[in-house]
Amino acid sequence: MSTPVLDVRHLAVHIPVADGVLHAVRDVSLTVAPGQTLCVVGESGCGKSLTSLAVMGLLPASARRTAERMDFAGEDLLKMTPPRLRELRGNRMAMIFQEPMTSLNPAWSIGDQLTEPFLRHGKGGRRQATDRAVQLLERVGIAAAGRRLGQYPHELSGGLRQRVMIAMALMCGPDLILADEPTTALDVTIQAEILHLLAELQREMGMGLLLVTHDLGIVARVAHRVAVMYAGEVVESGPTVAVFDNPRHPYTRGLIDCIPIPARSRPGVPLGTIPGLVPNLVGGMEGCAFRERCAFATGPCARAIPIVHGDDGHTWRCVLLERAPSLLEKST
């Protein structure tokens, strides 16, 4: 097997807050193979964005990051010097942020923002940088790319700005892209186009993609592997088809049930929901973090939950022996 482009073992992120320590990410292990897409999915506050920021070394200054291993294409990110990290970031590993409205610099033209990483990493001269920018803008489906270089972010729509963000991440031909909710702010039609584009570019360039999202609909359609996060932990992970066909954690099941499906979900028939709220992650945490919201919780759930290993690297943290039942099926 080739070296994974990203290999994270037992990552934890702790943030000191006023009333204790916030255990935002706890014992997260992920690997992304070249040319593969790993989707990290979960609700707001589950630690999925912090996980990707921890990989990029972009955590807030107060946060503490620990891990047993964190390798990027065989290089140890934990021991990496800041200059070496700066060499990699924006060059061999790039990030696409959620908000195309706020993550572009409003005072810089599109052309300057696109060419900056290319020039900064010494990939070539200004002429080459501009050529590559035009070529990539066309590649991401922006018409009249040459003219766009002189425009400013406020002159572009949300969909176009997100395309610019993608083109920018691709400028140096990265090995790994981390995309944090790249389509959440967009219309469904544009979302489908952007995801197509990412999948196609990934095939062409053989990049690894770590895509963070809250929408299992997206995960089902683009991921090779999926990691479901809850309260800072990966509660289930495995090949996409295995996780969707045979979800072993009730939380995964709950996330699948709450998606409305055209012509199948009927008016008046409620969608599945996950009752209750995400637990407070400040202070100690014992047992399954989901047990307060779980319809199947029993005594053993309050104790430490071992990771169960199934076929094909499908793993889960749940004491249930059977496939997670759907509460929807139960009620009807």
Partner 1 sequence: MSAEDRPILELRDVVKRYSVSRGLFASKRTLMAVGGVSLSVRRRQVLGLVGESGCGKSTLAKMVLGLETPSEGEVLIDGRPIASLGRLERARLVQPVFQDPYSSLNPRKTVASIIGLPLSVHGEGSSAERRGRVEEMLRLVGLAPRHAAAYPSQLSGGQRQRVAIARALILRPQLLICDEPTSALDVSVQAQILNLLMDLQSRLGLTCLFISHNLAVVQMLATRVAVMYLGRVVEEGPTAEVMLHAQHPYSLGLLASVLTPDPRLGLPETGLGSVFPDPLSPPPGCAFHPRCPLAFDRCRVESPLLLAHRDGARAACHAAERHAMVAA
Q: What is the DSSP string of 62-91?
A: T-EEE-SEEEETTEESSS--HHHHHHHBTT
Binding-site string for partner 1 from residue 57 to residue 96, where x marks contact by CB under 8 A and - marks none: ----------------------------------------
Contact 151, 110 (CB under 8 A): yes
> Rounded to an integer, what distance in angstroms lies between the CA atom of residue 167 and that of residue 156?
14
- Burial class of residue 331, CB neighbours in 10 A (0-12, 13-18, 19+): exposed
18 in contact with partner 1 (CB under 8 A): no
Among 66, 265, 280, 298, binds partner 1 (CB under 8 A): 265
d(CA 249, CA 59): 29
Among residues 10, 64, 196, 303, the one that binds partner 1 under rule CB under 8 A: 196
Separation of alpha carbons 129 and 163, rounded Å: 18
The C-alpha angle with vertex 229 and arms to 262 and 279, in degrees rounded to 5, equals 105
Among candidates 301, 302, 292, which has minimal Cα distance to 320? Answer: 301
Rounded Cα distance, 140 and 160, in Å: 9
Q: Judged by CB under 8 A, which stretch of 5-13, 72-80, 86-94, 270-278 contacts partner 1?
A: 270-278
- Round to whole Å and give the CA distance between 119 and 124: 6
Q: How far is the CB of 142 from partner 1 (least distance, A)?
A: 9
CB of 82 to partner 1, least distance (A): 35
To partner 1, the closest distance from the beta carbon of 63 in angstroms equals: 22
Q: Which is nearer to partner 1, 78 or 271 (CB)?
A: 271
CA neighbor of 227 nearest in space, from 240, 245, 217: 240
How many DSSP H helices and E strands does the chain contain?
Answer: 11, 13
Indicate which single residue of 16, 125, 270, 283 sits in contact with partner 1 (rule: CB under 8 A): 270
Site string for partner 1, 131-150 (x = CB under 8 A): ----------x-x-------
**Is 325 near partner 1 (CB under 8 A)?**
no
Stretch that binds partner 1, among 14-22, 110-118, 187-195, 280-288 (CB under 8 A): 187-195
Interface with partner 1, residue 47, by CB under 8 A: no
Under rule CB under 8 A, how many of the chain's residues touch partner 1?
50
Binding site for partner 1 (CB under 8 A): 43-44, 141, 143, 157-159, 187-193, 195-196, 199, 214-223, 240-241, 244-245, 254-263, 265, 267-268, 270-274, 277
